[in-house]
Amino acid sequence: MEALAKFKKELSSPKKIFITTHVKPDADALGSSLGLANYLIKKGHDVSVVTPTDYPYFLTWMKGNDEVLDFSKASDKPLATAKLEEAEMIFCLDFSVLNRVNELGEMIRKSKAFVVNIDHHQDPEDFADFRFWSTKAAATCELVYELIVEMGDKSLIDKEIAECLYAGIMTDTGGFRHPNTTKNVHLVVAELIDIGADSAQISNLIYDSNSVNRLKFIGFAITRRLVVREDLHTAYFVISKKDLKKYQSQTGDTEGLVNYALSLDGIKLAALFSEREDGIKISFRSSSDVAVNKFAASYFSGGGHKNAAGGKSTQSLKDTVERFESLVTQCQEELFHSESVTVD
């Protein structure tokens, strides 16, 4: 309670505020950042939102998008750096370890500003002065909603803020299908709809805005790049740099692809390996009875949630996939039959 009181006191006078979120922001990352930014602006603060990298085109409809600075863009970097240096408060949203924001991480660590961490990932690093954190929350957007209510400011949530928050909750629950879709999720979302979030319109903006190239890429990946190992309850995609180039892949184009592998009958573990400029990026998904975050953390320098995690590898694409297959073979007992994996 003491930390919350201190946090409230910090916000009781106008502040210069810097909000950031993890690399390659998804709807929860950007929605929580912009939902919070729009609220803090209404409270009279001077707010900047800076992302460590670019993000998918299907998120650019959110209010405040045009003012977002991309730290990886040479033209935005000087202003973003100045905003961080002058900030009195820094909000870190939808990530719990500072290496999730690249170069910004060390700058935040060194900053004298009051640092706030709002997040729902496992094992948070101790870098914040105030942490509003719960792994029970399905999305950081759910926590931002709760924090605004906690501040006694529910009446300040308008249609645009509700839309940002709705988007993050919708996508982090896989369209209200994942095991994290709790009663509270439905209650929060009901409030957001009441305030004016249009559920059909938001799902249309996010899920039904494919380019022809993206749809063809998904078709290609399912036809040519899907490996199914029924004996291991596992299916995965292997996407090379060449594949991404051929389909003129944009940021966000591989998002959701891994779910097709998990949708197969009998498959409990799904992965997507994609070859990027800086190494192999890995997404893991699992059915509700399989914990994939520990596996990602132990073997692929990653982590995340029980049923959705990420990782990376500096080996070649081929070697990474071979290593993955042999690890799944070795860890079968632990992954698919253990009773002790029910961490949330």
Binding residues vs Mn ion (CB under 5 A):
28, 94, 140, 172
Please, which residue, 140 or 283, has the CB nearer to Mn ion?
Answer: 140
Please, which residue, 28 or 255, has the CB nearer to Mn ion?
Answer: 28
Q: Smallest gap, in angstroms, from Cβ of residue 26 to Mn ion?
A: 7
Q: Smallest gap, in angstroms, from Cβ of residue 120 to Mn ion?
A: 6
What is the CA 169 to chain-centroid distance, rounded? 11
Please, which residue, 140 or 254, has the CB nearer to Mn ion?
Answer: 140
Q: Smallest gap, in angstroms, from Cβ of residue 168 to Mn ion?
A: 7
Q: Smallest gap, in angstroms, from Cβ of residue 69 to Mn ion?
A: 21
Please, which residue, 94 or 163, has the CB nearer to Mn ion?
Answer: 94
* Residue nearest Mn ion (C-beta atom): 28
CB 122 within 8 A of CB 304: yes
Q: Smallest gap, in angstroms, from Cβ of residue 140 to Mn ion?
A: 5
Q: Smallest gap, in angstroms, from Cβ of residue 27 to Mn ion?
A: 9
Task: Collect all residues with Cβ–Cβ distance below 8 Å to 89 and sequence separation of at least 6.
Answer: 10, 11, 15, 16, 17, 18, 113, 114, 115, 116
Please, which residue, 141 or 205, has the CB nearer to Mn ion?
Answer: 141
Please, which residue, 48 or 140, has the CB nearer to Mn ion?
Answer: 140
How far is the CA of 163 from the CAs of 59, 68, 141, in angstroms?
Answer: 11, 17, 10
Please, which residue, 15 or 105, has the CB nearer to Mn ion?
Answer: 105
Rounded Cα gap, residues 126 and 110, in angstroms: 13
Please, which residue, 94 or 275, has the CB nearer to Mn ion?
Answer: 94
Please, which residue, 93 or 321, has the CB nearer to Mn ion?
Answer: 93
